[in-house]
């Protein structure tokens, strides 16, 4: 009888351990496998692309770094009003983060130095999203799925990625309908100052989105970590009158460049082959590729074939 009870007890303990193991959620970040006993409910994102990923998955982060900046530069998806600002992305307010009692804090590229400090508050996930030695767009997809797994929304994440591909196909059709068989070569830029532009090239999210739309670059740039190369505005004279130049809003860093002869004397501008793109986060997550593609398509459709 005693032996039977002991055996039953062993079976119960083994079952409990099995269930506990099964309940664990394991995800892989840039440091390896990380385990969580349950689905995190209170999430802090110290990077805009990570905040974007959360909102796309239907999860409202309790805290985000530089909320005002997100609403100005990222815009889509809209950040809920309930989100608490937790300071700068480079210097977040640790006390404010701790007061939110987070279950996990998510970091990304250029924030690895914060991991040890933030781990005193809550478990940390670090995703090195932007690197020269990998495809930033493909890594964005991987991260989106990992966050889906963490939040038990993996099927939703995969569905959204599938729909992204369908969206590219539809937008590609719109561009073909507008321009016909002869598609223009397109260069996209962001402003760094009134005299310097960031030209998006290989490994850039805008470059990737344009490729999915079936378009080639009019000003190819080498592969880099962020997929961009800084050039003098005058270098855009290399673009001819048949090319298209897209520039991202907001243009606050450009100052009054758009009113200056330096800009308006560019052949591509004189030819009317230039258009602004609605704010789209050029260093974002997987779903930012959708907003980039949509907004660049809208801009391209304002250009005469």
The tens place of each residue's pLDDT in the chain, 305 residues long, gives 544 545 555 454 454 444 444 558 999 999 999 999 999 999 999 999 999 999 999 999 999 999 999 999 999 999 999 999 999 999 999 999 999 999 999 999 999 999 999 999 999 999 999 999 999 999 999 999 999 999 999 999 999 999 999 999 999 999 999 999 999 999 999 999 999 999 999 999 999 999 999 999 999 999 999 999 999 999 999 999 999 999 999 999 999 999 999 999 999 999 999 999 999 999 999 999 999 999 999 999 999 99
Whether the ω angle into residue 77 lies within 30 degrees of 0, i.e. cis, is yes
State whether 35 and 111 are in the same domain: yes
| pLDDT tens track for 256-305 | 999 999 999 999 999 999 999 999 999 999 999 999 999 999 999 999 99
Which run of H or of E encompasses 2? helix 2-23
Q: Which domain covers residue 121, as residue numbers? A: 25-128
Decide if 257 is inside a domain: yes
Kindly compute the dihedral angle of the four CA atoms of residues 79, 300, 247, 185, in this order, to the nearest 10 degrees: 130
Decide if 296 is inside a domain: yes
**What integer pLDDT is reported at residue 149 of this predicted model?**
97
Decide if 103 is inside a domain: yes
Using only C-alpha atoms, the chain has a radius of gyration, in whole angstroms, of 23
CATH code for the domain in which residue 236 is found: 3.40.50.1980
The residue length of the chain stands at 305
State whether 45 and 124 are in the same domain: yes
DSSP code at position 74 = I
Say if residue 157 is exposed, middle or buried (CB neighbours under 10 Å; 0-12, 13-18, 19+).
Answer: buried
Decide if 148 is inside a domain: no
**What integer pLDDT is reported at residue 84 of this predicted model?**
98
**What integer pLDDT is reported at residue 24 of this predicted model?**
87
Q: CA 265 to CA 280: how far, in whole Å? A: 27
Q: CA 164 to CA 174: how far, in whole Å? A: 15
**SS3 at position 193:** coil
Place of tokens 């501008």: 269
State both tokens at 109: 């590229």
């Amino acid at each position: 009888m005693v032996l039977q009870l002991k055996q039953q007890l062993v079976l119960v303990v083994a079952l409990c351990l099995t269930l506990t193991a099964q309940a664990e959620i394991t995800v892989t970040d840039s440091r390896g496998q990380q385990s969580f006993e349950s689905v995190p409910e209170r999430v802090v994102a110290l990077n805009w692309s990570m905040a974007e990923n959360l909102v796309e998955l239907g999860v409202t982060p309790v805290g985000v770094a530089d909320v005002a900046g997100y609403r100005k530069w990222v815009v889509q998806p809209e950040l809920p009003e309930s989100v608490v600002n937790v300071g700068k992305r480079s210097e977040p307010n640790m006390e404010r983060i701790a007061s939110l009692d987070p279950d996990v804090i998510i970091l990304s590229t250029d924030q690895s130095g914060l991991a040890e400090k933030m781990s005193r508050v809550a478990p940390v996930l670090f995703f090195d999203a932007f690197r020269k030695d990998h495809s930033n767009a493909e890594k964005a997809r991987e991260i989106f799925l990992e966050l889906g797994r963490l939040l038990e929304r993996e099927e939703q994440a995969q569905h959204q990625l599938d729909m992204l591909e369908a969206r590219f196909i539809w937008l590609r059709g719109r561009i073909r309908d507008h321009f016909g068989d002869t598609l223009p070569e397109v260069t996209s830029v962001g402003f760094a100052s009134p005299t310097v532009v960031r030209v998006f090239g290989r490994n850039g999210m805008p470059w990737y989105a344009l490729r999915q739309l079936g378009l080639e670059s009019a000003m190819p740039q080498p592969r880099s970590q962020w997929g961009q190369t800084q050039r003098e505005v005058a270098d855009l004279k290399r673009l001819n009158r048949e090319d298209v130049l897209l520039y991202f809003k907001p243009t606050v860093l450009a100052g009054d460049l758009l009113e200056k002869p330096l800009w308006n004397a560019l052949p591509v501008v004189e030819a009317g082959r230039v258009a602004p793109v609605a704010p789209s986060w050029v260093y974002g997550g997987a779903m930012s590729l959708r907003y980039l593609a949509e907004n660049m398509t809208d801009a391209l459709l304002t250009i005469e074939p």
